[in-house]
Amino acid sequence: MRNQAGERGKTSMQLYAIAFFMLWEWLRPIGKVTETSYLGVFIVFIALSFAGGYFQINKGLKVTIKLLYILGSVYNFYYSGGFFHFNWWNLFFTDLSKNAGFIGSGDWTALSDPFRTILFFTLLWLMVYLLQYWLLNRQRIFVFFLMTIIYITVLDTFTPYNAKWAIVRTVLAGFTVMGILTFSRIINKENVGKDSTSRRKWMIPLAVMLFLSGFVGMIAPKAAPVWPDPVPFLTSLNNKSGDEGNSGGIARIGYGTNDSRLGGPFIPDNSVVFTANTESSHYWKVESKEVYTGKGWTSPRKEARELFNKDEEVPFGRFPGDIKTEKEKVELNMNLLYNHIVYPYGTVKINAGKNVSFEADPVLEKIYSYMPNREPYRATQYSMDVEVPEYKVSALRSITGDEQTVLSPEFMARYTQLPNSLPSRVKRLAQEITAGKENWWDKANAIEDYFDLPDFTYDQKKVAVPGKKDDYVDQFLFKTKRGYCDNFSSSMTVMLRTLGIPARWVKGYAQGEFQKYDSENSNRQVFEVTNNNAHSWVEVYFPGQGWIPFEPTKGFDNSIKLNYEINSHSTNKSEAAPVTIQKKTPKNRLEEMEKNTVKSKAVKKEETALKKATVFIQMQWLKVLLGFLAIGILAYLLYNIRYRWLPHYFIFLFKWRKNDTQFAKAYMVLLKQLERYGLKRRDDQTLRSYAKYVDSFFTSNEMGRLTNRYEQMIYNNSLPKGSWNENRELWENLIKKTIA
């Protein structure tokens, strides 16, 4: 007897240990994949829980220890002051009640960290309980084992977590535990006395087989993956470009500072950035970048910022004297507040209020606003004096590159910089496109026009992320030919640079959507600029003319004023009527996009709700996953103890039913409930003999009486009026017996 108990103890200790290790496998990746830290605390917790189960400690004591441990950990993580001090308890309970409210309102993101920690502890607690149940009561673990494998493989595939050894560990542990369980099931089923020889006969081959198969699996050659690694895509998806200082470059559209890694799809975002009140449409510049890395753009060069205030001129962007300009006043109302200034081409002065001063970064050509106390100022409203330039095409055409001497070598090196890794075919393509063009203007226009070819597709979703060996521009030009502004603008900039034309990459916003004419002054127009208008384009430097914007992106159009000087032969220069034409024929792509989005309001709402949900899931996928897991486990537990709560529900349900036909339903419910209770009716057992069996179990005659009436009903087709009311008491008594 003693020996047997010892034997069982040994087996269950192995089971507990393996269960602990398998659950540990679930925790291991969490530190890698999420921001969870102090994983050790959680691991100790599951170890504690399993130990409590193994040593069969008194239930109340077990619960107390675990609760204390959870409280202690939470206190340790988040609170200070003595553990028994009133203060933190107070904070803690306010936090709990607040979070309960959040849960009620489904506001998952608002949950505080302490509360999340508690939820996580609870989840682990449940898992330990479930594992114990599976292992010791059901003696089945396959589902959990399979789930563990799926979990690890999914994480290995879709996250940076490397699960090579985790898989090996899990497979070994899983098969061992299944082997042990099968053994003990067989022993129980065949009712064989356990002795150590039969155990050894089972365990040794099992261990050998597991070891061998594991070893072979490790060293055997494996086929290469069928799909490319989705990790880069997902990591980039997880980093929103709307945040500053992120390492990826893809996901949510909008203004961001980091462009070192471009590529991948983005999610549209309709939030309004600002509304502009202008006379003409403008591109809104924020900054420019110098260095192309092969993956994206950076600007490592630092130069002292120049200070200026509202009465002083912006220290860059001035046009040479011989370019005609038209004065214009631009007013911006910001919706999303930044401490950088969004400005159109030709901005001379900025006024954001009396005390606001500005700093210009000459490298980025980025303007920051500051309070007098050097605090960054997030302007809500500012106006700008703009001089809109009008370029003479003849002057532009006259630049052929021989003027390079005019430009300093340092300048040329900076703006024709290219990474060594850039494939040479980019340059060959650029030369091909510009073949026969003599001057920079024509060359730039040729390249700009090249992207109008139907080979190129504007797309925000199916956009590739360059792999480790891919060049961002090369991939777009030769492989995918599908992308959005970053692809087009970067490609054009790089191609220009391969030709020795100084060019840089500019970020900001496109014109925005025309809303209405200003009510006070019908010459003025109001534009609304949203995050969807965030844009990038190209600037080319023309000696003597300055930086001129180019727009290679399909469907976008930046009109600059050009003077083709049709009457240039006229002696009276001032009489010469300049023909200002738009550089590009307008594309209707944008309009089409807009049309699509207008549609009906309902559809739009639905779409936005869907988008919101998608964004939410993409941002919080781990939490969503854990949430589903928790719900699943809860549902499973509820299902497992349904014989405890279902009767109450049914008693309540049938209390209000007066119709006699309900009797049949109620009786079937009773049969089901008795089955859950453990009194199963065999299929071939008649109701009468079953009733006898039930009555002998409960030592009553109620089932017999009830069954007699039910038999009358179904086999005699007779249903006396009011019979359900009479029978309900019997029925309720029986149902209650199953709960007692």
Partner 1 sequence: MRLDIEKILNNIEKVMIGKRNVAELSLVALLAEGHVLLEDVPGVGKTMMVRALAKSVNAKFKRIQFTPDLLPSDVTGISIYNPKDMEFQFRPGPLMGNIILADEINRTSPKTQSALLEGMEEGSVTIDGVTHILQKPFFVMATQNPIEYEGTFALPEAQLDRFLLKMKMGYPEIGEEMEVLNRAQKVPPIEDLTPVIDLEGLRAIQTEIKEVYVDSSVKRYIVDIAYGTRHHGSVYLGASPRGSIALMKAAQAYSFMRGRDYVLPDDIQYLAPFVFAHRIILKSEAKFEGITAEEVISRVIARVPVPVQRLVN
- Tell me which residues touch partner 1 (CB under 8 A): 664, 668, 671, 681-689, 711-712, 714-717
The CB-of-649 to partner 1 minimum distance in angstroms stands at 21
The CB-of-668 to partner 1 minimum distance in angstroms stands at 7
Of 305 and 657, CB closest to partner 1: 657
Of 151 and 710, CB closest to partner 1: 710
CA-CA-CA-CA torsion for 87, 90, 91, 97, nearest 10 degrees?
A: 180
The CB-of-681 to partner 1 minimum distance in angstroms stands at 8
Of 499 and 713, CB closest to partner 1: 713
The CB-of-723 to partner 1 minimum distance in angstroms stands at 15
Q: Are 633 and 127 in contact (CB under 8 A)?
A: yes
Strand, helix or coil at 542? strand
Joined together, the tokens standing for residue 8 give 């069982």
The CB-of-688 to partner 1 minimum distance in angstroms stands at 5
How far apart CA 111 and CA 88 sit, in angstroms, is: 18
Strand, helix or coil at 136? helix
Rounded to 5 degrees, what angle do the CA atoms 604, 610, 616 make? Answer: 135
How far apart CA 569 and CA 618 sit, in angstroms, is: 63
The CB-of-683 to partner 1 minimum distance in angstroms stands at 4
Amino acid of residue 733: N
Of 283 and 690, CB closest to partner 1: 690
Of 190 and 684, CB closest to partner 1: 684
The CB-of-189 to partner 1 minimum distance in angstroms stands at 22
Q: What is the 3-state secondary structure (H, E, C) of 285-347?
A: EEEEECEECCCCEECCCCCCCEEECCCCCCCCCCCCCCCEEEEEEEEEEECCCCCECCEECCE
**Alpha-carbon torsion (213, 215, 216, 218), positive or negative:** positive
The CB-of-657 to partner 1 minimum distance in angstroms stands at 18
Of 55 and 715, CB closest to partner 1: 715
Of 57 and 668, CB closest to partner 1: 668
Of 462 and 688, CB closest to partner 1: 688
CA-CA-CA-CA torsion for 45, 49, 55, 58, nearest 10 degrees?
A: 110
Distance separating the N- and C-terminal Cα atoms of the chain: 34
Of 468 and 682, CB closest to partner 1: 682
Of 337 and 668, CB closest to partner 1: 668
The CB-of-93 to partner 1 minimum distance in angstroms stands at 53
Of 355 and 686, CB closest to partner 1: 686
The Cα-based distances of 679 to 546, 671, 674, 693, 706 in angstroms read 92, 9, 5, 8, 16
How far apart CA 70 and CA 122 sit, in angstroms, is: 9
The CB-of-704 to partner 1 minimum distance in angstroms stands at 13
How far apart CA 662 and CA 657 sit, in angstroms, is: 7
Rounded to 5 degrees, what angle do the CA atoms 169, 173, 179 make? Answer: 150
Strand, helix or coil at 420? coil
How far apart CA 74 and CA 256 sit, in angstroms, is: 36
The CB-of-693 to partner 1 minimum distance in angstroms stands at 13
> In the structure, how many helices (H) and strands (E) does the chain have?
23, 22
Of 143 and 714, CB closest to partner 1: 714
How far apart CA 620 and CA 159 sit, in angstroms, is: 14
Burial 687-719 (b: 16+ CB within 10 A, else e): beebbbbbbeebeeebbbebbebbeebeeeeeb
The CB-of-671 to partner 1 minimum distance in angstroms stands at 7
